[in-house]
Amino acid sequence: MDDLLNSLVNKGLRGETPTRDEALAVLRTTDDDLLDVVAAAGKVRRRWFGKRVKLNYLVNLKSGLCPEDCSYCSQRLGSEAGILKYTWLKPEEAAEAAAAGVQGGAKRVCVVASGRGPTDRDIDRVSKTIGAIKERNEDVEVCACLGLLSDGQAERLRQAGADAYNHNLNTSESTYGDICTTHTYEDRVETVKQARGAGLSPCSGLIAGMGETDEDLVEVAFSLRGLDADSVPVNFLLPFEGTPLAEEWNLTPQRALRILAMVRFVCPDVEVRLAAGREVHLRSLQPLALHLANSLFLGDYLTSEGQAGKADLEMIADSGFEVEGAETTTLPEHRREESGAAPHERVAVRLRGTGTELPPNA
């Protein structure tokens, strides 16, 4: 155990990725070793992000009514989950919601719409929304999450002022077909690449707890490293009634921490974000997760009940961490672009020994 953790810490401090076997071994450690694993991954987290916690706030622009069949999603085709269903918030309404998040300390606002992907008219709408948000909150980063992108749409979002684009890989390529049949893993990879190509900071993460194997989790973490995502949201499945995964309660708080530690070791110098399901699955161990992740969604997100923003801020302060201010750049210097351009235009600098080849189909 000591050898494994020493190797992981040494690599993480150098910004290097572990071997897949080492990543797998993290997931297979016992509960007795949990605090040692958290402490080791915590060293890597502090090396690259200090005690800073970046807050993100989610604004749902459009909810439900999706034609896709992602089995984890309460908004999927035919979902019987009792969620709000509505079409497009007006730009001013979205800007108002965003302002509430910024007031709570959020540095990034994520504008999310359900659906397979946006039409060009939707891009017009979202562009206006981004404009309205930036008008009220000049310094806030805006990340769009609108599904699969068609040619030219990422560029239009970038021109409208978007800083980042989120599209999760969710699970390993080998099991993607088990969770969704209406689009493919390759479609998702392609959208992340389009976002990057347009100068948007790529945000892409995973969902744990869908019945996947340890190997699947390691595979998707390495794929995200291979795609060079700047931020990696780690979601824990919320098994919504009325969806095919309603019975999948597979996670314990300890397992959730091991998953976060594994992702931190595989992606040592990128923003690892606590996302959906953190309250339900980490429960009273949430403060320990701050030693692994350097970012979280504040308050409510998507259709689930989130912890109130105030409680998050107290948890951060009580755990000895601090909210990252607008003046601080989240990513370590070597990941920012050279010569002082904006973060989303940065040239990714690959680190030594990352072993981060793109997936064969990417």
Task: Calculate the alpha carbon distances from 348 to 42, 230, 334 in Å.
Answer: 24, 9, 8
CB of 61 to ligand SF4, least distance (A): 12
Residue owning tokens 């390691």: 218
Which tokens hold the place of 294?
Answer: 């350097």
Binding string, residues 151-170; x marks residues near ligand SF4 by CB under 6 A: --------------------
CB of 293 to ligand SF4, least distance (A): 22
CB hemisphere CA count around 146 (13 angstroms): 28
- Secondary structure (DSSP) of 309-351: HHHHHHHHHHTT-EEPPTTS-SS-GGGSPGGG--GGGPPP-PP
Binding range to ligand SF4, per CB under 6 A, among 18-26, 64-72, 123-131, 154-162: 64-72
Q: Give the 3-state secondary structure of residue 32.
A: helix
Helical axes 2-13 vs 34-49, angle rounded to 10°: 10
- Which is nearer to ligand SF4, 72 or 321 (by Cβ)? 72
Q: Are 286 and 318 in contact (CB under 8 A)?
A: no
Which positions make up the binding site for [2Fe-2S] cluster?
110, 143, 203, 273
Q: Give the 3-state secondary structure of residue 13.
A: helix
For ligand SF4, how many residues bind (rule: CB under 6 A)? 10
Q: Side chain identity at 9, as an amino acid letter? A: V
- Which is nearer to ligand SF4, 73 or 282 (by Cβ)? 73
- Secondary structure (DSSP) of 224-249: HHHTT-SEEEEEE----TTSTTTT--
CB of 76 to ligand SF4, least distance (A): 4
- Which is nearer to ligand SF4, 76 or 193 (by Cβ)? 76
Q: Are 134 and 167 in contact (CB under 8 A)?
A: no
Other residues' Cβ atoms within 10 Å of the Cβ of residue 257 = 24
- Which is nearer to ligand SF4, 115 or 299 (by Cβ)? 115
Task: Calculate the alpha carbon distances from 221 to 101, 150, 169, 240, 358 in Å.
Answer: 29, 25, 9, 24, 12
- Return d(Cα 347, Cα 341) in angstroms, integer: 9
The answer to the question of residue 114 lying near ligand SF4 (CB under 6 A) is yes
- Which is nearer to ligand SF4, 172 or 330 (by Cβ)? 172
- Which is nearer to ligand SF4, 66 or 232 (by Cβ)? 66
Return the H-helix or E-strand segment holding 109.
strand 108-113
Which tokens hold the place of 261?
Answer: 């530690």
Q: Which of 17, 60, 75, 194 forms a contact with ligand SF4 (CB under 6 A)?
A: 75
Q: Which of 66, 142, 275, 316 forms a contact with ligand SF4 (CB under 6 A)?
A: 66
CB of 89 to ligand SF4, least distance (A): 16
The answer to the question of residue 147 lying near ligand SF4 (CB under 6 A) is yes
CB of 232 to ligand SF4, least distance (A): 17
Query: Residue 63 gets which letter from DSSP?
Result: B
Binding string, residues 76-95; x marks residues near ligand SF4 by CB under 6 A: x-------------------
The answer to the question of residue 70 lying near ligand SF4 (CB under 6 A) is yes
- Which is nearer to ligand SF4, 68 or 163 (by Cβ)? 68
Residues noted as catalytic: 66, 70, 73, 110, 143, 203, 273
Other residues' Cβ atoms within 10 Å of the Cβ of residue 341 = 12
CB of 303 to ligand SF4, least distance (A): 10
Q: Which region, left, alpha or beta, applies to residue 239 given φ > 0 means left and ψ of -120 to 50 means alpha?
A: beta
Apex CA 264: angle with CA 229 and CA 198, to 5°?
5
Binding string, residues 116-135; x marks residues near ligand SF4 by CB under 6 A: x-------------------
Which positions make up the binding site?
66, 70, 73, 110, 143, 203, 273
CB of 192 to ligand SF4, least distance (A): 15
The answer to the question of residue 73 lying near ligand SF4 (CB under 6 A) is yes
Positions that interact with ligand SF4 (CB under 6 A)? 66, 68, 70, 73, 75-76, 114-116, 147
